[in-house]
Structure 1
Amino acid sequence: MRSNLPLAGLSVRGRYVLRRSPILQIAAIFAFWLLGEAIVRFAGIPVPGGIIGMVIVFALLASRRISLHSMRQGAQWYLAEMLLFFIPAVLALLNHHELFGLLGVKVLLVILGSTASVIAVTALVMDLFMRFRGRHGLV
């Protein structure tokens, strides 16, 4: 008999340990990223593996195969320490002095434009999702 509970494949103790351990949650998020990378390499999909991993996590959360509590602390740690992941990019920028001229202005405009478009598309998708939830009574 199949259970509809989140994390139904894990034992009760396994679910408890995962929900209480940020290190295991970080490892789980990393494992989903690795799974996405493996799928991209195997299938030859021209999409970053992190995006595929994120889609897998979203699908598991939407289908209630995993619960939000089983990933929350690990995800919050990643968000809190996000600056550490961008320091190498800043150091690389300091090695390229040509980016401080007209080329840098062009790159900056592309970055700002792409960031604005990502924010706009994200807002649109979230708005559509919230309307969908409201219409179908999903809370």
Structure 2
Amino acid sequence: MKRFDVKRLGRMVSELAVLLAIYFIGCQIASGWHLPIPGGVVGMALLLLGFALGWIKPATLQLGAGVLMAEMLLFFIPALMSLLDYGVLVRDEGWRILLVIGVSTLLVMVVTAFTVEAVCRWRMRHEV
């Protein structure tokens, strides 16, 4: 392995470790405070807070996040395989499930867009 490859691998592992640590901190906060939302969502809020306050630069986690995005399908294979066990449910209630998935996906996209817009405007005001 070349020196460049080892350096890149080390950076990727360290970025993944930071993302995993933020996730675990979010899980601990959610379970410790008995929050009704998943720890992953709390971790994402912590990550957003770190970005907004300038504690974490998005570019410092770009390689690790890129690896997770590239391999995202692997995270969904277990959920997709479980559909084989519930074929009757999907056949009978599939349209409702698809409606919920569609509406929730749309809501996530809209809320994300508004959040990004608000953070960008906030940063523009505070950088001047």
- State if a TM-score over 0.5 links the two structures: yes
After superposition, what is the alpha-carbon deviation per residue over 1:14-66, rounded to whole angstroms, capped at 9, x for unaligned? xxx89x61011111101111111111111111111111111222222222222
| Alignment TM-score, normalising by the size of structure 1 | 0.75
User: Given the alignment, which residue of 19, 26, 33 partners 1:29?
Assistant: 19
Q: Which moved more, 1:69-78 or 1:87-96?
A: 69-78
Q: Structure 2, unaligned stretches of length 5 or more?
A: 1-6
Say whether the 8 Å CA contact 1:98–1:104 is kept in structure 2. no
1:133 CA displacement: 4.2
Q: Which has the higher contact order (CA 8 A, sep 6+)?
A: 1
Q: Which residue of 1 aligns with 2:114?
A: 124
| Alignment TM-score, normalising by the size of structure 2 | 0.81
Over 3 Å counting, the alpha-carbon distance change for 1:34 and 1:103 in structure 2 is same
Q: Aligned partners of 1:48, 1:23: CA distance in 2, in Å?
A: 25
Identity %: 34
Over 3 Å counting, the alpha-carbon distance change for 1:82 and 1:41 in structure 2 is same
Alignment of 1:75 onto 2:65: yes
Mapping of residues 1-139 of structure 1, within 5 Å: 21-134=11-124, 136=125, 138=127
Over 3 Å counting, the alpha-carbon distance change for 1:128 and 1:24 in structure 2 is closer
Coordinate RMSD, CA, aligned: 2.3
Over 3 Å counting, the alpha-carbon distance change for 1:61 and 1:125 in structure 2 is closer
Over 3 Å counting, the alpha-carbon distance change for 1:91 and 1:56 in structure 2 is same
1:70 CA displacement: 2.3
1:102 CA displacement: 3.1
Number of equivalenced pairs: 121
Say whether the 8 Å CA contact 2:13–2:64 is kept in structure 1. yes
